[in-house]
């Protein structure tokens, strides 16, 4: 089980702040998060999630990063402005 936290627009767009999930790789979390957003009446896609910066235990990660029980996974939406 890994602990997942969301920040930025992904948190707002999904209606999810944090949750725990069974996942072998970061990309396995995508399906769980998409389903949780649906339950909140929200719609997000794998593309929305994939555009986020990902950290696993404080280290930059990719969607293929392998996860271990107890890992903390953070998704941070990239923000642009002008």
Neighbours of 20 (CB within 10 A): 10
Whether the model pTM is above 0.75:
yes
Please report, in tens digits, the pLDDT of each residue of the chain (82 residues total): 999 999 999 999 999 999 999 999 999 999 999 999 999 999 999 999 999 999 999 999 999 999 999 999 999 998 755 5
**Domains present along the chain, CATH in parentheses:** 2-76 (3.10.20.30)
Q: 23: which residues sit within 8 A by CB, 6+ positions away? A: 2, 29, 32, 67, 73
Report the candidate in 73, 58, 60 with the shortest Cα–Cα distance to residue 24: 73
């Amino acid at each position: 089980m890994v602990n997942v936290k969301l920040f930025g627009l992904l948190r707002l767009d999904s209606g999810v702040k944090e949750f725990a999930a069974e996942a072998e790789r970061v990309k396995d979390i995508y399906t769980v998060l998409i389903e949780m957003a649906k339950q909140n009446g929200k719609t997000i896609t794998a593309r929305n999630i994939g555009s986020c910066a990902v950290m696993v235990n404080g280290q930059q990660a990719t969607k293929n990063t392998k996860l271990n029980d107890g890992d903390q996974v953070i998704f941070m939406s990239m923000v642009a402005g002008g």
